[in-house]
Amino acid sequence: MPQVKIIAKNFMDMVAALPAMKLDQLYQNAFICEAILRSLPPLAKKYVIQMLYIEEAVTTKSMEEWVLPDGISKHKVAIDRLLQLRIFSETFDRSSGTSYRLNPTFQANLQKHITCGGVLPREPMPLSITARLPSLEDLEAYALEQWECFLLQLINSAQAEKMMNISSSMMRVFQRGLLTQRDKEPPRLTESGFQFLLMDTNAQLWYIIREYISNSEERDVDSADLISFMLELSFHATGEAYNMNTLTEDQRNTLKDLADLGLVKLQQGRKDSWFIPTKLATNLSVSLADSSARKQGFVVVETNFRMYAYSTSKLHCEILRLFSRIEYQLPNLIVGAITKESLYNAFDNGITSEQIISFLQQNSHPRVAERIPSVPENVTDQIRLWESDLNRVEMAPAHFYDEFPSRDVFEAACDFAREYGGLLWEDSKKMRLVVKTDVHMHMREHLRRQRQ
């Protein structure tokens, strides 16, 4: 089965893919304009700010004077990003060459937002209604617990009759690439699903959000409205309570799905209900690269292929089980070993040696994380060698010949196949040979002429 690659994109990639009409609708919202500005590369931000109050188009020659000669490559990246998001429009004139100007809708709303200041999408609810809210530490623990529960149900889906506490919308996200199911059999992980589990947490989140937005049309939800609402969430304060009555029905349904991921916590009072954003929600407008700061690792790998994981997480144990043999688990320690058999099982499931090595390096315990390399070289080299063992045999269509009428005919056939580079195997004693399929038709005609 071919290797399946999972590419996690951030919101700005999805925004760039929207039609021009929907983009103009998004840019009517000042918060969206600010979120777009936040996401841009530093040089692209500089261009937007410098051109914010310029009504005329600016020529390429003028813009190139704003950067040093060694910054031309970054200049091109910035221009490409601004054109992708349609923040810049490009015009060409024979006398002045290529020029750029800001999208008028984006420019007007960003000017207004910067000059007058913005009003928050919605005001937090008073404590007199919500009473005591969870602390930021409790909220972070809740988000982590929800996310780990979400992934554990994905891992254990093969044993489960159905996925409990997962909405049908999120179930469809799984079935689009991470899970497969035939007839009445329980769902099982695909190659992409196994690879997904070894990805960084932020990359996993972006993948799920991207797929959730991609199939929004199936739920009769406009993708532009969904992106707009999620970007608005990033302007809410972490840990504050916001009234659910201020939302549309589609937005309320979206929040119920996001609660499965731990992006928000839903609470119910006597009369009102509210949602509390976690850090996962308020960081949604941050780019994937910016949000992927190194987290504290937990794995130590020794030169004898023994592995010690200092973790209390059941999720960590299940992920390590994908490519290693777990020997025993204490309350805060998982002990296992990387074996040939455990790796062959991982390779059969579509996980590559580089993904395993990358996971071990990214999750190295602080005691070994500063070492170079953090995972012993003899272990990483052996993991790669065991994978290469599976790729020694290359399958190719071929044809087998035997029962030649004479040795002269057999040798003539061998010479013909050898001359055209199609001889794969020969047995002179028993007069048998195997040739490539693309040589077969020509050789058959050659043997027919020989007989004549």
DSSP for 198-218, written as a single string: TS-HHHHHHHHHHHHHHTGGG
Average pLDDT, the chain: 84
Dihedral (C-alpha) 45, 47, 51, 52: value to the nearest 10 degrees? 0
Cross-strand bridge partners of residue 401 = 433
Cα separation, 263 vs 234, in Å, equals 10
Higher pLDDT among residues 300 and 152, named by residue: 300
CATH code 1.10.10 region(s) in the chain: 11-116
Cα separation, 282 vs 235, in Å, equals 6
Model pTM score: 0.71
Residue 199 backbone dihedrals phi, psi, to 5 degrees: -75, 160
**Cβ–Cβ under 8 Å, residues 295 and 306:** no
The 10 Å CB-count burial string (b at 16+, else e) for 349-365 is bbbbbebbbebbbbbbb
**Cβ–Cβ under 8 Å, residues 206 and 288:** yes
CATH number for the domain whose boundaries are 11-116: 1.10.10
pLDDT at position 119, please? Answer: 61
pLDDT at position 293, please? Answer: 47
pLDDT at position 443, please? Answer: 76
CA distances from 100 to 33, 88, 95 (A): 18, 6, 15
Residue 329 backbone dihedrals phi, psi, to 5 degrees: -135, 125
Residue 269 has which token pair? 């009072």
pLDDT tops 90 at residue 162: no
Mean pLDDT along residues 372-386: 94
Residue 64 has which token pair? 């190139």
pLDDT tops 80 at residue 61: yes
**Cβ–Cβ under 8 Å, residues 12 and 35:** no
pLDDT tops 70 at residue 96: yes
Cα separation, 230 vs 220, in Å, equals 17
**Cβ–Cβ under 8 Å, residues 260 and 167:** yes
Element (H, E) at 58: strand 58-59
**Cβ–Cβ under 8 Å, residues 195 and 224:** no
List the one residue out of 211, 249, 202, 215 whose CA is nearest residue 229.
249
Q: Which residue has the tokens 């532009």?
A: 224
CATH code 3.30.70.2610 region(s) in the chain: 398-451
**Cβ–Cβ under 8 Å, residues 79 and 100:** yes
Instruction: Give percent above pLDDT 70 in the chain.
Output: 90
CA distances from 419 to 262, 434, 443 (A): 65, 14, 11
CA distances from 110 to 24, 105, 286 (A): 13, 9, 18
398-451, what's its fold? Alpha-Beta Plaits (3.30.70)
pLDDT tops 70 at residue 342: yes
pLDDT at position 2, please? Answer: 34
**Cβ–Cβ under 8 Å, residues 78 and 41:** yes
pLDDT tens digits, one per residue of 193-232 = 888 888 877 778 888 888 888 888 888 888 888 888 888 8
State how beta strands 333-337 and 306-309 pair: antiparallel
Model confidence at 3, in pLDDT bands (50, 70, 90)? very low
Higher pLDDT among residues 39 and 143, named by residue: 143
> Length of the chain, please?
452
Three-state SS sequence of 147-178: HHHHHHHHHHHHCCCCCCCCCHHHHHHHHCCC
Instruction: Give percent above pLDDT 90 in the chain.
Output: 34
Mean pLDDT along residues 301-314: 95
